[in-house]
Amino acid sequence: MTKRLALWAAALVLFFSGVLPVLSMLHSSLLLEGHLSFSNYLNIFSSEREWILLKNSLTLAFLVSLITLFLGVPLGLLLGKTDIPFKRQLSLILCIPILIPPYIVAVSVDNCLGQEGLLRLFLPAWVLSSLSSHYLGLGGSVFVLSTVYLPIPMLLTISLLKNVNPALEEAARLSAKWPLVLKEITLPIIRPGLILSAILVFVLCLGEFSVPSYLRYQVFSVESFTQFSAVYDFGSATAQSVPLAVVALLLLVAESLYSRKDLFLSTPLVSGTKTLEIALGNSRPYLFILVSALAFLIVILPLLSLFYSSLDFSVYKEAIKVAGDALTRSFFYAFLAASLLSILGFLSAYTIKNRAIWCWRLVDMTSLFLFAIPGTVLGIGLIATWNNPWTQFVYSSLLIIVFGYVARYHVLSSRIILSQLYLISPSMEEAAQLAGAGWLSRMLFILTPLSKRGIMAAWLCVFLFCLRDTDISLIVYPPGCETLPVRIFTLMANGSPGLISSLCMLMVVSVLVPASIFWHLRWSR
Amino acid sequence: MLASKYVRIALGALFFALFSAGLISCTNKGHDSEKTVVVYVSEDQVFSEPILKDFEKQTGIRVKAVYDTEEAKSTGVMNRLIAEKNNPQADVYWANEPIRAQVLKEKGIAAPYVSKNAETISDVFKDKEGYWTGFSARARVLIMNKEVDSEPKSIFDLASPEWKGRAVIANPLFGTTTSHVAALFTVLGDERALAFMESLTENKVAISTSNGESADLVASGRYAFSLVDSDDAVNRIRQGRPVKMVYPDQGERGIGCFIVPNVVVLIKGARHPEAARRLIDYLLSPQVERKLAFADCAQIPLHKGVEIPPELKPLDKINVMKVDYEKVAKKMLEIQPFLRKWAGLK
Amino acid sequence: MVEVKLQSITKHLEGRLVLKDIDLEIVKGARLVLLGPSGCGKTTLLRLIAGFIAPDEGEIFISGKMVSRAGEIVVPPEERGIGFVFQDLALWPHMSVYKNLEFVLKAQRVPKTKRIERIKKMLDMVGLQDLSSRMPAQLSGGQRQRVALARALVSRPSLVLMDEPLSSLDWDLRAHLAKRICKLQEEIEFTMVYVTHDRDETKQLATQVVVIRNGTIKGDGEQS
Ligand SMILES: Nc1ncnc2c1ncn2[C@@H]1O[C@H](COP(=O)(O)OP(=O)(O)O)[C@@H](O)[C@H]1O
Ligand SMILES: [Mg+2]
């Protein structure tokens, strides 16, 4: 009884925070002057322009997921499996870009290449100007988004490697050298995870609007925005956002079907055994230099240039003055959402794994869909659903923002925890059940401790994603209660470059501190 | 291990502190008293926030704001207002152009309010029924690079062979450029306006993503001139870039310079109507116009006799394009499909 | 002739002493059974011989050649010519039975025609000829066991290490497979180190028995 109640409650929260708002938007997209009509959808591809934009979006997403995959996996191998020095520090540095809102990365790279930028000290002017002319458009968008999303395949590789049964590699090492072992044994075993990471990057890129628009590369997501911003036509704006959501959803669904088939691959590992480490031997210093150079080029340099243009410390005082409260709020919202989502994600993961309620598949699919739909649609849907006199307490309080985060990032927590649950043998719960433990105490005292790592990872992941969220926060934040990314975003229009840079630095530091503390906890385990 | 235990305790304490701080900062005290006013703002936060802060200081009324940015084509505020129609949260909307206000009026979201401070503002910049009132305005001006010898004098120079391939304008799908094009349609009539737009294409006028970018492209010498907002031009001049600002179509027979005032709107069903009116009065006062004129947005006051910085021309020295903003707003929605096609990737 | 020689091997894992001052010689062609309660360090010893980990102190020789010494793996596992049957079998889950065997030969650059021939012969020997295209997940416990055995033997190693290979099977299957292992060892003539905690298996298999307790050798003896 408690079990059904809890699982249904979790499903209902997802329903009210995400499904209902999006449904209300879809409903309005099917109405034209009060009648059912598909004209909004029939008009989506009314001109050649839309096709070109769609092509641009797909090109961008494809290139970025390709680059991040082919760079992220080797990096993951190097940092997760070899004896390369300073691997912790290097991984943390390479992760910085994903922790901050993407347009800040775009700004900082721009800063770097700009006429007053840091690179001016190293590069001749003509190189700089040709670089910065290539920066605008596809090239820059690919560069920035690749930098931003590189950590996804990289981190996933690192963590998946730790889950490979060491004996599988050892068995192969008896006859083969490392390169062959990696190619034929290790990588194929973690392949489902790698494909998921590529798809995740693809979906995130499709929905990305701020970076391409900053770098003047026209993508499809601009269409929905025009409808929202120029004509204020919710119906057609929602319709315009559907094609990308459908592409994203199809990919995610294909992935989830595929990964289910491959499930038998994940052999639960015997606890305590460690996977073999690759000794790099002579190439160790060279590879270290290579990775450091990469980290310097794509992370440190842009950050330095941000820092460089905000060197004036009075600016920092000013930044803290104008954004200190926004920063506190950001942490608070992210903290609430992450905590709530750890619980919801756990319950949903349990639902999905055990097919515990009849709509388990629906829970999984809708959370995927909510991740894929543009934030604007979800945000406005939230307003439409929750802004009425009876639910005033939700809409006029921070609950609405938490709801938005819950709907948006539910899939991250449920998937991360799900992958952990799959590693736990069902007999664990069954044994406790035979011993007479009720469902609640089985969850609390058996499954939760066993999946602690997954829950913590999910918490952190959601926390960071909420902390950097712009698109949902921008639309639903209660008046006077904006978050730091929103504040930076709105101040960026005509704000002084020094102030913007220092706000960005503030954002970077405030995200890095919790991230590195958790990093420390994870590795010291 | 011991260390990580302390780290955990520290983390716990940190979170607790955050939790309480967040709760305190976000409880909506006295929501329905007139001690608070909720304002949605489309004018850039950098310029609008100081004004609102001053209002707080002067009146003791707490201002809760939702900001938006035109530069990034953000969709926040207007869509919020529309989505919130049945249960409005905002009391006042500070728009950076009249067209949006007109849309609100038509959608039944605005309420009429005639401020006494608006008496000295020309009727051109006010809604007839008092649904919106204009103040501090931007002008749509030409910005030209100083290196260029001859000087464009009219927006029709965009279509003249002399400047073929040497001019740039912002994408007319967004922002003030949209309003400007719509205004041209109302002034010239559909036929001539369409012909003008087509001739832009033939004359190879480049398209940038924003007025700010256009101004930069002219400042860097990439293009000879562009049509931008006066604040973009003044901004570049203050930065010492080699550019000049030209008010277009000034002669007696010229169609005049298109003026885009800020606009303030009282929201229908506002929860704090009294505070809202006070804020509107404040925004429409000469002192605010003066501040906005000297700020980096360099906006032209609509009240007579307000002190202005040297880069600006007072309103009565400008030949202003005579438009009916209500018609412009209607036209703007009407020409959307055309604009989308026109701006399509050619 | 001595196939494997351990010289005063000591090994710590995570700060705990697991093996202490082990001296051991294994004669070529012997069937040595390492007997001891679980947790006493048997697996660790095999992993040392295979070259997955390096000893903290002492040296290891295979066929007279020094392969490991304190803190260093001198000869990497793939050059030691060792077959290994893991406690949990460690069949590669994404490869069919055939592919599992083929990987080993491919890694050692055996030409294709020879590969096919040797795999076929090996599968015949363990009685799996009909199952070569099955995936490991589609096999029964006993069948998987035989695949693991075949994979360890297919490269014709001179030394085969077996870590409780039969522990997960039921009693009669165990006796049957132990017999089969004996037979295979006689046919192919490899040196075998067999880890178990089961006395019956020991009786069935061993030509030489070594008892380990708390990380040290408590006694050894010949057995016919
Ligand atoms: N990777 C490891 N890290 C720490 N301790 C280990 C590790 N592997 C094994 N041990 C410990 O070393 C001891 C010997 O382990 P093992 O060689 O696996 O024993 P056996 O195979 O005889 O059961 C056990 O107490 C075990 O807990
Ligand atoms: Mg063992």
pLDDT tens-digit series, residues B210-234: 788 889 889 888 899 999 999 889 8
Q: Which domains does chain B have, with CATH numbers?
A: 36-137+259-317 (3.40.190.10), 140-258+334-342 (3.40.190.10)
Does the pLDDT of residue B65 top 70, yes or no?
yes
Residue A189 alpha carbon to ligand 2 centre in Å: 24
pLDDT of residue B15: 65
**In a shared domain, residues A511 and A416:** yes
Whether A contacts B, i.e. 3 or more CB pairs less than 8 A apart, is yes
Is A283 contained in some domain?
no
* A50: amino acid identity, one letter: E
C13 pocket-lining for ligand 1 (C-beta < 6 Å): yes
Output the DSSP codes for A110-134.
Answer: HHHHSTTSGGGGTS-HHHHHHHHHH
Same domain, A190 and A93: yes
**A80, HSE (Cβ side, Cα atoms, 13 Å):** 23
Give the CATH number for residue A436: 1.10.3720.10
Q: Give me the domain span that covers residue A412.
A: 1-37+312-525
Predicted pLDDT at A263? 46
Count of alpha carbons within 13 Å of C103, Cβ hemisphere only? 29
Q: List, in sequence order, every residue forming a beta bridge with C61; answer none if it has no partner.
A: C5, C66
Of chain A, the percentage scoring pLDDT greater than 90 comes to: 23
- Residue nearest (by alpha carbon) to ligand 1 atom 25: C39
At A80 the three-state DSSP class reads helix
DSSP type of residue A2: H
Would you say residue A285 lies in a domain? Answer: no
pLDDT digits (tens, 9 = 90+) for A137-181: 899 999 999 999 999 999 888 888 887 888 889 999 999 999 999
Q: Enumerate residues 6+ apart whose C-beta is below 8 A from B26.
A: A329, A332, A397, A398, A478, A481
Residue A281, in any domain of the structure: no
Tell me: do A302 and A344 sit in the same domain: no
Q: How far is CA B25 from CA A404, A486, B116, B246, C216, in A?
A: 20, 17, 35, 47, 66
Do B26 and A398 make contact, defined as CB atoms within 8 angstroms? yes
Report the share of chain B in percent with pLDDT over 70: 87
CA trace torsion A112, A114, A120, A124 (10° rounding) = 120
Distance of CA C182 from the midpoint of ligand 2 (Å): 21
Is the same domain home to A103 and A22? no
Instruction: Please provide residue B133's backbone torsions phi and psi, each rounded to the nearest 5 degrees.
Output: -135, 135
Instruction: Test C107 with A188 for CB contact under 8 angstroms.
Output: no
Q: Is C52 helix (H, G, I), strand (E, B) or coil?
A: coil
Beta strand pairing call for B167-170 and B225-229: parallel
**A505: number of Cβ within 10 Å:** 21
Q: Candidates C40, C46, C52: which one to mutate for ligand 1, based on the most atoms within 8 Å of Cβ?
A: C40
Q: Are C150 and C118 in contact (CB under 8 A)?
A: no
Are A171 and C86 a contacting pair at CB < 8 A? yes
DSSP-derived 3-state class of residue A10: helix
Residue closest by Cα to atom 10 of ligand 1: C13
Same domain, A300 and A326: no
Q: Which of A241, A275, A306 marks a domain boundary? A: A306
Same domain, A295 and A342: no
Let me know if residue A42 belongs to a domain.
Answer: no
Same domain, A61 and A191: yes
Do both A301 and A334 map to the same domain? Answer: no
Please give the distance, rounded to the nearest whole angstrom, from the Cα atom of residue C87 to the centre of ligand 2. Answer: 7
Q: Rounded to 5 degrees, what angle do the CA atoms B235, B236, B240 make? A: 115
Angstrom distance (rounded) from CA A55 to CA C76? 50
Please tell me the predicted confidence (pLDDT) of residue C161: 94
Position B300 scores a pLDDT of: 92
Domain count, chain A: 2
Assess whether the C-beta atom of C11 lies below 6 angstroms from ligand 1: no
> Which of the ligands is closest to the CA of residue C86?
2
- Across the interface, do C78 and A173 touch by the CB < 8 Å criterion? yes
Residue A275 inside a domain? The answer is no
Q: Which subunits have 3 or more CB–CB pairs within 8 Å of chain C?
A: A
Residue pLDDT, tens place only, A31-46: 877 777 777 787 777 7
Q: Evaluate if residue B7 carries a pLDDT over 70.
A: no
Tell me the DSSP string of B322-339.
Answer: ---HHHHHHHHHHTHHHH
pLDDT band at B1 (very low <50, low <70, confident <90, very high): very low
Any residues with CB less than 8 A from the CB of A51 and at least 6 apart, and which?
A45
What is the CA(C221)–ligand 2 centre distance, in A? Answer: 22
Task: Looking at the structure, tell me whether residues A239 and A260 fall in a common domain.
Answer: yes
pLDDT over 80 (residue A378): yes
Per residue in A397-437, pLDDT tens?
Answer: 888 999 999 999 999 899 888 877 877 777 778 888 888 78
Domain assignment present for residue A276? The answer is no
Contact A302, A112 (CB under 8 A): yes
pLDDT at B25: 52
Same-domain check for residues A130 and A172? yes
Q: Is C2 helix (H, G, I), strand (E, B) or coil?
A: strand
DSSP helix, strand, coil percent of chain B (3-state; round to 5): 45, 15, 35
pLDDT of amino acid A63:
97
Collapsing DSSP to helix, strand or coil, B115 comes out as coil
Between residues C36 and A425, the one the model is more confident about: C36
| Nearest Cα residue in chain C from A265 | C93
A153 min Cα distance to partner chain C (Å): 21
**Among candidate residues B108, B114, B104, B47, the one with its CA nearest the CA of residue B79:** B104
Q: Which residue of C has its CA nearest to A177?
A: C78
* Nearest atom, ligand 1, residue C215 CA: 14
Tokens encoding A385: 């659903």
Across B133-142, average pLDDT: 94
Residues A320 and A302 in one domain: no
The DSSP H or E segment spanning A307 is helix A301-308
Residues A67 and A211 in one domain: yes
Distance of alpha carbon B35 from alpha carbon B44, whole angstroms: 25
